[in-house]
Structure 1
Amino acid sequence: MVSKDKNTPDIDNLINDLCDGLAPTQKIWCPYKHFVLWISVSIVYFSIVIFVVGLRHDLAYQAHNTIFLFEAALGILFSTTAAICASLLSVPDMRGKEWFRAVPTTLFSVFLLWNIIKGYTEGVEMPHLHWVDCMNNGLFMEAFPLVFIILLSLRGKTTHPIWMTFMNILSVAGIAWLGLRLTCSMDDMGHAFMYHFLPVSVVGALLILFARRIFKW
């Protein structure tokens, strides 16, 4: 006859106490499903906004401008790779792909360096700050994709809230930048900094400040 351990009731009580607070959890989406959904909806939204705002009058000429094409390509690349990285960050271990954070970060660093060099060589004449159509259009282009990618990210369980917020911002910043390049015919660096960079930077800084509150377990 097997004797029952006198400590068994205590162990059972401990297990019951630990299990009391447990609740069913929602299954985390596949990161790539997250990315495909966001990019598909964002492309449709982006196309509608561009149609409503209207293309710049000299787009046919700019389509043969090497600098314009290089900047557009950089915007697309860091936006797309940042969205992929945000999708991976929605999984706690990033599926072992922590190294991928370097891809959008490097592309964005090249983008910043390029614009610094461009500003140095061309000169930067800062305009007087006032509300212009570019600011409206930029915020219009980024508002829905930003809210959408944050909602998708909240379905995951990131362990890197600041990185997640940063990648979400980069994803949307690339879209807004490309959209403004396609619709705004002002190419000088002062205008670009004041009305293209600044609004996105302010929104991004505010989101990063509240990153740990937004993406909390």
Structure 2
Amino acid sequence: MRSEDLITQLAAGLRPVRRVWHPAKSTAVWLLLAGGVIGAAIAVFGLRHDLAQRLASGFDLPQLIAALATGLLAAFAAFELALPDRDQRWALLPLPAVVAWLATMGWGCLQDLARFGPEGLRLTTSYPCLAFIAGLGVPLTMGMLWLARHAAPLRPTPVAALGGLSAAALASVGLSAIHHLNAAVMVLVWHGLAVLVVTLVATFLGPRVMRAEEAAAPA
């Protein structure tokens, strides 16, 4: 076979490559999607009546800022890891925000202990917290995995895990604006449990979803 014929035959099956968005653009689109979904949930359930008072007092504000930072940084790290030339250490980007988030909730537990004594650390059930964060977090994670589906052959597990963490953290912010959980230990346990559930679901099922979305995506 002549070289010209071989080149023509090989080039006949080529498809144009779609340029991948910059991680900052992907993160911005993701935040718009998440904000729309959480905003719709707030529109349905309404804001908690004492939200402005609690934010003004500074009691909930550090926790909400840390949770929002966790969602933002985890999303950006996921989109960075979705690119083949990125260092795996991008996975550590949301770690300081996660630590700050846990620290603010832990400090709230100590404040409750000082104000109310052992009664302030009494733990009761709050399945609506788990249902809300999981109910929003899992669909939002699917949106994240669709945006990062090009990572399916590369690093599907860390990308999916970070996507789940981002979705659950932002859903937690939405829940704090809606649901009344005045005890910090309740927030720590139930928000933490829900975030862990969504992150684990994304970690174990996300790679399969990403491969399926990548296979089904048009050229």
Q: Indicate how the Cα distance of structure 1 residues 21 and 194 shifts in structure 2: closer, same or farther if over 3 A, else same.
A: farther
On the 8 A contact 1:149/1:168 being kept in 2, the answer is yes
2:175 is aligned with 1:180: yes
Match of 1:70 in 2: 62
Q: Summarize the alignment of residues 18-167 of structure 1 with structure 2, pairs less than 5 Å apart.
A: 26-94=18-86, 98-119=88-109, 122=112, 124-128=121-125, 132-157=127-152, 159-167=154-162
Q: Deviation of residue 38 (structure 1)?
A: 1.2
Q: Structure 2: which 5+ residue stretches go unaligned?
A: 114-120, 212-219
Q: Does 1:202 align with 2:197?
A: yes
Secondary structure (helix, strand or coil) at the match of 1:67 reads coil
Equivalence for 1:4: none
**TM-score, normalised with respect to structure 2:** 0.74
Give yes or no for contact 2:162–2:199 (8 Å, CA) kept in 1. Answer: no
CA contact (8 A) 2:160 2:206 kept: yes
**Is the partner of 2:35 in helix, strand or coil?**
helix
Identity level (%): 21
Once residues 11 and 205 of structure 2 are traced to their aligned partners in structure 1, the CA distance between those partners, rounded to angstroms, is: 32
Q: Is the Cα–Cα contact under 8 Å of residues 137 and 164 in structure 2 kept in the other structure?
A: no
Structure 1 or 2: more helix by fraction:
2
Conserved in 2, the CA contact under 8 Å of 1:158 and 1:164? no
Aligned residue identity for 2:140: P
Computing the radius of gyration over CA atoms, which structure comes out larger, 1 or 2?
1
- Contact 2:145 / 2:206 at 8 angstroms: preserved in 1? no
C-alpha separation in 2, matches of 1:201 and 1:76: 16
Cα distance change, pair 158–28 in 1 and its aligned pair in 2 (3 A):
farther
Q: Secondary structure at the residue paired with 1:32?
A: helix
Give the letter aligned to residue 66 of structure 1: G
Cα offset, 1:72, TM superposition: 0.9
In 1, Cα distance between equivalents of 2:80 and 2:184:
34
Three-state SS of the structure 1 residue aligned to 2:92 is helix
Kept in 2: contact 1:72–1:178 (CA 8 A): yes
Can you give the 5+ residue segments of structure 1 that lack an aligned partner in the other structure?
1-8
Question: CA 1:156 to 1:141, structure 2 compared with 1: closer, same or farther past 3 Å?
Answer: same
CA contact (8 A) 1:79 1:172 kept: yes
Give the letter aligned to residue 48 of structure 2: R
Deviation string 1:115-172 (CA, Å, 9 cap, x unpaired) is 345445645322146xx44334333432432221111111345633232122102211
Question: Counterpart of 1:159 in 2: which secondary structure?
Answer: coil
